Structure 1
Amino acid sequence: MTYYKIMVNRQRMWMLFLLAISVLGWGFTDYESIFAGLIFGQVVGFFNLYLLQKKINVVGEKAANNQAAKSLGALSRFAGAILLVVVVLRFPEYFHLIAAIVGLMTPYIVIMIDFIFHHKETTTTKRGE
């Protein structure tokens, strides 16, 4: 398994872990609308993460074969974010807007934290080499 696939699986695992914590918070606390917004944002964010990872894989394969790649699919990810905001604004009694936006940004935070913690695995050069 390549390093990229290991990283993708690790990021998906962390997203599912955070989603499970949010579901527990929704089920066992009195903050249903906040956790519902967080869950909805994390689901849309997880889908956006999946789309981004899939497009990066395609672009990497095309670059390895010296072919031109189209784009990273920002339009579909923006559409998901717009759909999230429209639904949350339409049903404010069920979803909290700020929590939904935080949930939408959760995958990018997971990507940054994953990079920080696993940066040492890729940089194994010693002093003086």
Structure 2
Amino acid sequence: MLDLHHIFTMQKKALFFLLALCALGWGFTSIPAVFAGIAVGACFGTYNFWILVRRMDKFDRSISEGKKTVSLGSALRFGSGIAAVAIAITLPQYFHLISTVIGLMIPYGFLFIGVLVASVRNK
């Protein structure tokens, strides 16, 4: 099974490719707000996944040292999602709300696809 750092590295590469596609869509289509919303949502979603990776490291260290476990940062990730949606609601002429929410879920889709690919390769 892949560790979280390897998955996060793969997600960063996929995010840069997605952002390039969003930049092209933003510049050359008639629906730039949709592509801008996807880009903002994907950035905040990747930030949420980075927080999760960092907190899982702290969690693993505290378990191995026998210390009391710490929170996994759910409130911080939830607040980040609210911030992304607040940006889309505040600036609807630049960011599409639904595409921002979809963009927030893209890193988890990348995670699912990465796990599927890794399990197919290991068979």
2:109 partner amino acid: I
Which has the higher mean CA deviation after the structures are superposed, 73-82 or 18-27? Answer: 18-27
Report the counterpart of residue 26 of structure 2 in structure 1: 26
Report the CA distance shift for 1:119/1:96 in structure 2 as closer, same or farther (over 3 A). Answer: same
**Residues 74-113 of structure 1: matches in 2 within 5 Å?**
74-113=74-113
Report the CA distance shift for 1:4/1:82 in structure 2 as closer, same or farther (over 3 A). Answer: closer
Which has the higher mean CA deviation after the structures are superposed, 9-18 or 95-104? Answer: 9-18
Report the CA distance shift for 1:59/1:7 in structure 2 as closer, same or farther (over 3 A). Answer: same
Report SS of the residue matched to 1:95.
coil
Q: Which stretches of structure 1, 4 residues or longer, exceed 4 Å deviation after superposition?
A: none
**Residues 3-82 of structure 1: matches in 2 within 5 Å?**
3-82=3-82
Deviation for aligned residue 1:120:
4.4
Report the CA distance shift for 1:37/1:118 in structure 2 as closer, same or farther (over 3 A). Answer: same
Which has the higher mean CA deviation after the structures are superposed, 55-64 or 42-51? Answer: 55-64
Unpaired segments ≥5 residues, structure 1: 125-129
Q: What is the count of residue pairs matched by the alignment? A: 122
Deviations 1:62-97 (A, max 9, x none): 222232221110101111111111121111111111
Unpaired segments ≥5 residues, structure 2: none
Which has the higher mean CA deviation after the structures are superposed, 31-40 or 60-69? Answer: 60-69
Structure-1-length-normalised TM-score: 0.83
Deviation for aligned residue 1:61:
2.2
Contact 1:15 1:110 (8 Å CA) reproduced: no
2:4 & 2:103 partners in 1: Cα distance? 24
